Amino acid sequence: MRIEDLLERRVGKTPDKPFLNVSGERYTYAEAAAESKRYASALDALGVGPGDRVGLYLPNCAPFLFAMFATAYLDSVTAPANPEYRSEELRHSLTLSSPTVLVTTPDLLETAEEAAEGTAVERVLTTEPVAGYDCLPDLAARASASVAPAGDDDTAVGLHMYTSGTTGPPKAVECEHRNWTISAVDFQKRMGFTHDDVLFTALPLFHANAQIYSTLGACAAGAEVVIEERFSSSRWWDWCREYGVTEFNAMGSMLKMLDNVDERETDADTPVELVFSAGTPPELIEPFEERFGVRVVEGYSLTEDPLLVLNPTSPEKRRIGSIGLPPAEKDVRIVDDDGEEVPRGERGEILMDCPALMAGYHDQPEETAEAVEDGWFHTGDYGKVDEDGFVYFLDRKKDIVRRGGENISSYEVEGVIKALDAVEEVAVIPSPDEFYDEVVKAMVKVKAGRSLAPEDVVRQCEGRIAPYKVPRYVEFVDDFPYTPTGKIQKQKLRTREREETPDHWDREA
**For residue 483, pLDDT beyond 80:** no
pLDDT tens-digit map of 365-416? 999 999 999 999 999 999 999 999 999 999 888 888 999 888 898 989 999 9
Q: Within 13 Å of residue 274, how many CA atoms lie on the same side as its CB?
A: 23
**What distances in angstroms separate CA 151 from CA 39, 147, 156, 159, 352, one per listed residue?**
18, 12, 10, 16, 29
State the burial class of residue 102 (Cβ atoms within 10 Å of its Cβ: 0-12, 13-18, 19+): buried
Q: Per the CATH hierarchy, to which homologous superfamily does domain 231-396 belong?
A: ANL, N-terminal domain (3.40.50.12780)
Q: Within 13 Å of residue 384, how many CA atoms lie on the same side as its CB?
A: 9
H or E stretch covering 184? helix 177-191
When the candidates are 3.40.50.980, 3.10.20.30, 3.60.90.10, 3.40.50.12780, the CATH number that belongs to 28-168 is 3.40.50.980
Q: Which of these, 220, 270, 275, lies nearest to 29 by C-alpha position?
A: 220
Residue type for position 33: A
b/e code 141-170 from CB counts within 10 Å (16+ = b):
eebeeebeebeeebebbbbbbbbbbbeebb
User: 381 and 350 in contact (C-beta within 8 Å)?
Assistant: yes
* CB neighbours of residue 353 within 10 Å: 17
b/e code 175-203 from CB counts within 10 Å (16+ = b):
bbbbbbbbbbbbbbebbebeeebbbbbbb
* CB neighbours of residue 234 within 10 Å: 9
DSSP 207-254: SHHIIIIIIIHHHHHT-EEEE-SS--TTTHHHHHHHHT-SEEEEEHHH
In the prediction, which pLDDT does 485 show? 66
Quick one: what percent of the chain has pLDDT higher than 70? 99
Mean pLDDT, the chain, rounded, equals 95
In the prediction, which pLDDT does 148 show? 87
**For residue 166, pLDDT beyond 70:** no
Measure the N-to-C terminal CA separation of the chain; round to a whole number of Å.
51
Q: Where does the chain hold its CATH 3.30.300.30 domain(s)?
A: 400-506
Bridge-partner residues for 427, per DSSP?
A: 443
pLDDT tens-digit map of 248-289? 999 988 999 999 999 999 999 999 999 999 989 899 999 999
Q: Which of these, 92, 95, 60, 65, lies nearest to 78 by C-alpha position?
A: 65
Q: Please compute the mean of the pLDDT values over residues 113-133 and round it to a whole number.
A: 97
DSSP 260-297: HSPP-TTTT-SS--EEEEES--HHHHHHHHHHHT-EEE
Q: Where does the chain hold its CATH 3.40.50.980 domain(s)?
A: 28-168
Q: Which of these, 236, 313, 317, 324, lies nearest to 279 by C-alpha position?
A: 324
User: pTM for the whole thing?
Assistant: 0.91
**For residue 154, pLDDT beyond 70:** yes
Question: Rounded to an integer, what distance in angstroms lies between the CA atom of residue 176 and that of residue 184?
Answer: 13
pLDDT tens-digit map of 28-48? 999 999 999 999 999 999 999
- According to DSSP, the β-strands at 376-385 and 406-409 are unpaired
In the prediction, which pLDDT does 46 show? 97
Q: Within 13 Å of residue 329, how many CA atoms lie on the same side as its CB?
A: 14
**For residue 149, pLDDT beyond 90:** no
Encode 59-71 in three state secondary structure: CCCHHHHHHHHHH
In the prediction, which pLDDT does 398 show? 83
H or E stretch covering 2? none
When the candidates are 3.30.300.30, 3.40.630.30, 3.30.450.20, 2.10.60.10, the CATH number that belongs to 400-506 is 3.30.300.30
User: 214 and 243 in contact (C-beta within 8 Å)?
Assistant: no
Q: Which of these, 490, 376, 479, lies nearest to 428 by C-alpha position?
A: 490
